[in-house]
């Protein structure tokens, strides 16, 4: 194959979506002898430890445990097209290759970063030749979200006809990145980051493979935290660490945290500023504020800023939280949020981040009300579905004699001239439209007092309707 395509034995030990070297291509079957040497010391550790069988795979119990979807597929030899969605280094490509091997199918891997429509056509030709020999074909597209619509559509007729089984691997949400037509023909399987115990299992295998000194417990915990659920990251970091350690005479009894620090350099967490991890983090921050948990809110704020999020974006979201979740229960929340945004603009990082933290804590502990948010949504929804009702005559503006002569403003009662500054029974709604009650204050903070005030005013309306003879005299139009 050319470009990004390859065909390799499905039972080979493989770990990621990198293409096999040319000498490994165009295998005739799942158990074909390719005439290649077994992985040696020059082969990356992650490649050497790639699982050969499903029982060697660590993690993903929700998919590979007894009776779970992919386990049943492997044991039954049944294939269906699928999308494997998960973060880097969790075994997406390994699972695709194991599926092909279990079903004795040809395996073709395409990298969406390198491949084009021609590579897809080559894969289809290879699949047709394999079907003529009575063999099925699995086509893995790594980073499938990088294929454009035309490239994704090129698979549709062949997936529909059953010529090939499509497996897409992606770190991005397939709902947004994969065409609906292709997504409807594939089952989405979600892979999770590896748990700490899974990473510890991999470390034990790596130590046995390299024959390295044991890790001190503090170094092991640090390395697992550094991996952040990514098996490849763990193994690469561990391999770098072992490579720095003296061999033979002078070799340490164990690998400690200071050695690990030298090997790791800057610790970078998995945080895609434009992907799901980013939006999940801001969602967690917002929900922590809404749930009145200031400590959790500070944690997610720190995670976002540590991951490289623009603090100005956080400031904008904090302003939204103040309006949506606190509202009139404590109007100071919006003032505090706005002041924090302005403070950050003046100070920048890191000094200005403290103002954002202050705003987040204030919002988290403030009384909560989404009454204005719900009222605004209800009003917008009503207006969008309703017609354009004319403004009643008594509410119209009357800046000219002509407009006054036409009756604009006639009958309007100036509230400041009324008892208590309130014109009881006055209607501010379009004619023939029943008054609506969209804003319903919550019994929280200042809104409790607002609710009491509105209830008192509405009681005056009722009393005025019961005593029409006591209506206030009509003052001049204003």
Report helix, strand or coil for 7: strand
Q: Position of tokens 């550094």? A: 226
pLDDT at residue 128, rounded to an integer: 93
Which residue, among 326, 365, 358, 361, has the nearest Cα to 341 in the 3D structure? 358
Residue with tokens 């090997």, as numbered in its chain: 263
For the chain, the distance separating the N- and C-terminal CA atoms, rounded to the nearest angstrom, is: 83
pLDDT at site 425: 76
Please tell me whether residue 291 adopts helix, strand or coil conformation: coil
Domain covering 196-264 assigned CATH 1.10.3470 in the classification: no
Calculate the alpha carbon distances from 441 to 9, 151, 321, 444 in Å: 67, 53, 17, 8
Q: Does domain 5-190 have CATH number 3.40.50.2000?
A: no
Q: What pLDDT does residue 126 have?
A: 92
326-359 CB burial, b ≥16 within 10 A, e <16: bbbbbeebbebbeebbebbeeeeeeebbebbbeb
Give the right CATH number for 276-365 from 1.10.490.20, 1.20.272.10, 1.10.287.70, 3.20.19.10. 1.20.272.10
pTM above 0.75, yes or no: no
| 369 and 327 Cβ atoms separated by less than 8 Å | yes
Contact predicate 36/52, CB 8 Å? no
Residue 58, SS3 per DSSP: coil
Task: Specify the pLDDT at position 117.
Answer: 82
CA 210 to CA 245: how far, in whole Å?
12
Could you tell me if 139 and 119 are in contact, meaning their C-beta atoms sit under 8 angstroms apart? no
At 170, give phi and psi (nearest 5°). Answer: -150, 145
Q: What is the mean pLDDT of each run of 10 residues along the chain (478 residues)?
A: 40 32 32 40 84 87 87 82 90 86 85 86 92 90 88 89 90 86 90 91 91 88 85 90 78 83 63 67 93 93 86 93 94 95 90 95 94 92 87 84 83 82 80 86 88 86 70 46
- DSSP 8-state class, residue 469: G
Domain boundaries, the chain: 5-190, 196-264, 276-365, 389-470
Number of H helices, E strands in the chain: 21, 6
What is the predicted pLDDT for the residue at 127? 92
> How far is residue 474's CA from residue 11's CA, in Å, rounded to a whole number?
92
């Amino acid at each position: 194959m050319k470009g990004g395509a390859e065909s390799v034995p499905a039972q080979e030990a493989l770990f990621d979506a990198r293409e096999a070297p040319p000498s490994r291509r165009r295998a005739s079957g799942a158990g074909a002898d390719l005439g290649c040497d077994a992985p040696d010391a020059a082969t990356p550790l992650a490649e050497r430890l790639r699982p050969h069988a499903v029982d060697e795979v660590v993690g993903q119990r929700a998919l590979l445990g007894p009776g779970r979807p992919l386990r049943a597929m492997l044991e039954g030899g049944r294939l269906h097209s699928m999308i494997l969605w998960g973060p880097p280094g969790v075994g997406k490509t390994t699972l695709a290759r194991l599926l092909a091997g279990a079903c004795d199918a040809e395996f073709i891997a395409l990298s969406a970063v390198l491949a084009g429509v021609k590579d897809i056509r080559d894969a289809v030709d290879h699949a047709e030749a394999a079907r003529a020999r009575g063999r099925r074909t699995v086509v893995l597209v790594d980073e499938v979200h990088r294929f454009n619509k035309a490239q994704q559509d090129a698979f549709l007729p062949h997936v529909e006809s059953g010529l090939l089984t499509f497996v897409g691997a992606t770190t991005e949400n397939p709902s947004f990145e994969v065409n609906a037509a292709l997504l409807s023909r594939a089952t989405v399987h979600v892979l999770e980051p590896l748990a700490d115990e899974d990473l510890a299992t991999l470390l034990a295998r790596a130590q046995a493979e390299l024959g390295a000194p044991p890790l001190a417990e503090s170094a092991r915990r640090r390395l697992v935290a550094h991996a952040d659920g990514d098996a490849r990251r763990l193994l690469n970091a561990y391999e770098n660490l072992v490579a720095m350690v003296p061999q033979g005479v002078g070799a340490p009894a164990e690998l400690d945290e200071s050695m690990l620090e030298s090997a790791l350099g800057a610790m970078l967490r998995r945080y895609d500023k434009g992907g799901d991890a980013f939006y999940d983090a801001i969602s967690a921050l917002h929900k922590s504020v809404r749930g009145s948990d200031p400590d959790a809110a500070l944690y997610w704020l720190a995670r976002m800023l540590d991951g490289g999020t623009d603090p100005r974006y956080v400031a904008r979201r904090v302003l939204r939280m103040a309006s949506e979740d606190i509202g009139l229960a404590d109007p100071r929340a919006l003032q505090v949020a706005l002041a924090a945004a302005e403070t950050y603009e003046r100070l920048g990082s890191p000094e200005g981040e403290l103002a954002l933290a202050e705003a987040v804590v204030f919002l988290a502990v403030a009384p909560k009300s989404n009454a204005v948010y719900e009222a605004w949504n209800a009003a917008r929804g009503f207006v969008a579905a309703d017609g354009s009702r004319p403004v009643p005559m008594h509410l119209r503006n009357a800046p000219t004699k002509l407009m006054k002569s036409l009756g604009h403003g006639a009958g309007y009662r100036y509230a400041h001239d009324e008892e208590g500054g309130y014109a009881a029974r006055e209607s501010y709604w379009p004619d023939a439209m029943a008054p609506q009650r969209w804003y319903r204050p919550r019994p929280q903070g200042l809104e409790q007092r607002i609710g009491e005030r509105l209830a008192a005013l509405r009681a005056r309306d009722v009393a005025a309707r019961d005593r029409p003879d006591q209506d206030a005299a009509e003052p001049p139009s204003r």
